[in-house]
Amino acid sequence: MQCQRDEVLAVDRVSVSFSGRPVLREVTFSLGAGEFCGLIGTNGAGKTTLLRTILGFQAPLAGRVRVDRASDQDGLPAIGYVPQKITLDSSIPVRARDVVALGLDGHRFGLSFSTKKRQGLVAEMLAAVGAEKFADQRVGNLSGGEQQRVLIAHALIRRPRLLLLDEPLANLDMRSAAEIASLLRRLSVEHRITVLLSTHDMNPLLPLMDRVVYLANGRAASGATDDVIRTDVLSRLYGYHIDVVRVHDRILVVAAEAPEEIPAAVEKYPAHVAQIP
Parse the chain into domains and list their residue ranges.
7-229, 234-277
pLDDT score of 78: 83
Bridging pattern class, strands 162-166 and 79-82: parallel
Asked if 130 and 12 touch (Cβ cutoff 8 Å), the reply is no
Buried-exposed string 35-51: b where 16+ CB fall within 10 A, e elsewhere: bbbbbbbbeebbbbbbb
Q: Locate the DSSP E strands across 106-239.
A: 162-166, 194-199, 211-216, 219-223
Q: Which one, of 247, 230, 240, lies nearest residue 261 by Cα?
A: 240
pLDDT score of 256: 62
Q: How far apart are CA 273 and CA 181, in angstroms?
A: 26
40 Cβ contact list (under 8 Å, min separation 6): 198, 199, 200, 202, 212, 213, 214, 215
Q: Which one, of 234, 169, 229, lies nearest residue 204 by Cα?
A: 169
Q: How far apart are CA 188 and CA 274, in angstroms?
A: 35
- Torsion angle (degrees, nearest 10) of CA 184, 187, 191, 194: 10
pLDDT score of 72: 45
Q: What is the pTM of this model?
A: 0.84
pLDDT score of 261: 43
pLDDT score of 36: 97
Cα distances from 173 to residues 17, 44, 97, 166, 264, in angstroms, run 34, 22, 24, 17, 24
Check if CATH label 3.60.10.10 holds for domain 7-229.
no
pLDDT score of 81: 94
Q: Mean pLDDT by 10-residue block, N- to C-terminus, for the chain (277 residues)?
A: 70 93 95 96 91 93 84 60 80 89 67 73 93 93 92 91 94 89 94 94 91 94 94 91 87 70 40 27
Q: 3-class DSSP state for residue 121? A: helix
